[in-house]
Amino acid sequence: MRVVVADDSALFRRLITTVLASLPEVEVVGQAANGKQALQRVHELTPDLLTLDMEMPELNGLEVLDALQKSGENVAVLIISAFTHQGGRLTIQALQKGAFDFITKPDLSGLEQIREALRAELAPRLKAQSLRFKVRNILRNSTAAAPIHPAASPVHPAAPPIHAASPTWMTSLEGINTRMNRLAGTIKPEMVLIGVSTGGPNALAGLLPALPGDLGVPVLIVQHMPPLFTQSLAENLTAKCALQVCEAAHGENLEPNTVYIAPGGRQMRLAPGDGGRKMIQITDDPPENNCRPSVDYLFRSVANQFSGRAMAVILTGMGSDGMLGLRLLKRHGCFVIAQDEPSCVVYGMPKAAVDAGVVDMVLPLEAIAGPIVAAIQGRMA
C-alpha cells in the first residue's frame, strides 16, 4: 500500500512515517506539510492512502477532502485528529465527507511512547484497508461476482437468516412480521441496540434519519470513539434525524423516540430504574475487547436485565466486539440484524456475529431501517 503523510508538524510527519514504514506491505511515498502540498502529492504520486492532519495551513483537512472529491482522486483518507472538542467536531465532518476512519494524536511526552501508541492505532487500520483494496481488486478483475454464501445457522435452526445483499431485501411486510414473531416471540421490541465502529458515523448518518420520529422506543448506540468525540457525533446526527440524538448521561431514564450514544472513553449499561423504568448507567469499568465503550458491555447488561425485549443491530467495524453480547441476547429471543459486507467499511464485527450463528438477517445498510420499524410499528420505514 502506497501512503502519503500530511501533517504540518515535522515531528509527527517523521513519527507517522517511521511507524508506517515498519508495517508490512506499506510504503510511504511522500510527505506534505500543508493542505496544498497534500493535494499535489496525491495528484503526482497517486497513493492508495493519505493520512491527513485536520488543522494545517494553506488548506485544512476539510478543504482537502472537498478538493479530493471535486477532482475525483481515488485515494482513501485516514484522519489524524487533535484530541480536543474542536478536533472531534472536525473529525465527524471529515468522516461524513468520505474519510474512512480516524486516530487521535497521542497526548504523551516520550517519543517511544508516542511511536508505540501510533503503531497500536495505525496497524489494524492499515491492515483492514489493505484487505479492502485486495478484495476490491479481486472483484474488479473478476469476470463474474462470486455467489453470496448464506449466514451461519442462527440459534433457532428452524428459521435460517435472511441474507439479502440486493434490492430483493424488500420482503413483504407480512413475511417480515411473521418471521420476527416466530423468532423473537410475540412481544414487540422495547428498545433498539446498535453496535458500530470503523465507518460508524457515516453508517449512523444513513440509518438513523430513516427511522421515524414516532418510532416509539429508545435506541442505544455504542460507537467506538474516544472522549470528546461522541458529543460532536450526537450533535451532528440530531440535526439530520427526526429522533432526538444525545450523548448518554449517567442516571437518566430511557425515553422513547430518543437515541442515546455511549460517551467516548466510558462504558454504558442498562439497569432497572424506579417504577419499572430502564436507567442508563455510565461507568469507568475496564475496556472489553480493547474497547471502551464496548458493545459487549451494553448488550450483556440488556440480556441480563431485559431478556427478549430488544432488537439488536451490528454494523460496520473492526474486530469482534458485540458477538458475545449478541450470543446472550439470542438466548433470550432477541432479533438480530447484521450489515452486509458490501456496504461495510470494515466487515469485522458483523462477520464475527454471522460466523457465530447469532444473526437473523444480513442486510445492506439502506435496508435495515425497514425491518426495525416493521418489528416495532408493524409498517415499513
Q: Which of 48, 321, 340, 360 is catalytic?
A: 321
Residues 6+ apart with CB under 8 A from 267: 282, 283, 284, 285, 288, 292, 293, 294, 297, 298
Residues 6+ apart with CB under 8 A from 203: 196, 315, 316, 339, 345, 365
Closest CA to 254 of 193, 331, 326: 193
State yes or no: is 321 an active-site residue: yes
Distance linking the first and last C-alpha atoms of the chain = 41
Q: 85-96 and 200-207 are packed helices; what angle lies between their axes, rounded to 10 degrees?
A: 70
Burial-class residue 11 by CB neighbours within 10 Å (0-12, 13-18, 19+).
exposed
State yes or no: is 224 an active-site residue: yes
Please say whether the beta carbons of 294 and 287 come within 8 A.
yes
Q: Which of 224, 340, 343, 360 is catalytic?
A: 224
**Parallel, antiparallel or unpaired: strands 278-283 and 267-272:** antiparallel
Q: Which of 197, 232, 294, 343 is catalytic?
A: 197
Please say whether the beta carbons of 257 and 214 come within 8 A.
yes
State yes or no: is 85 an active-site residue: no
Reduced to 3 states, what is the DSSP secondary structure of residue 254?
A: coil
Question: Which residues are tagged catalytic?
Answer: 197, 224, 321
